[in-house]
Amino acid sequence: MPIRFYFDVENGTETIRDREGVEAADLAEVLAEARSVIQEMAGEVCADALGTAWTLVVRDATGTLLARLPIRR
């Protein structure tokens, strides 16, 4: 049965919460999806504020933090 996971984006002062989420079979599958999302958004996020470190935070439906992945070009 699929599990719903959420990808929040944060930079230490600002957090953009994912309200929709994605479904995946397990943590390994959602981490693969997270890496794909990072590749898609890296150029946009990293270009907006040079010198600002952004992170993709993966959490489950209970809000439990599962992974923190840096967003880099």
Q: Identify which of 29, 48, 33, 47 has the alpha carbon closest to the alpha carbon of residue 18.
A: 33
pLDDT given at position 50: 59
Beta 3-10 vs 54-60: how paired, if at all? antiparallel
Judged against a pLDDT cut of 90, whether residue 37 lies above it is answered with no
Distance CA 34, CA 5 (A): 10
Tens digit of pLDDT for each residue in 42-58? 776 665 555 678 899 99
CB 69 within 8 A of CB 28: no
- Percent of all residues in the chain with a pLDDT value above 90, rounded to a whole number: 60
pLDDT in tens, 56-67: 999 999 999 999
Domain boundaries, the chain: 3-71
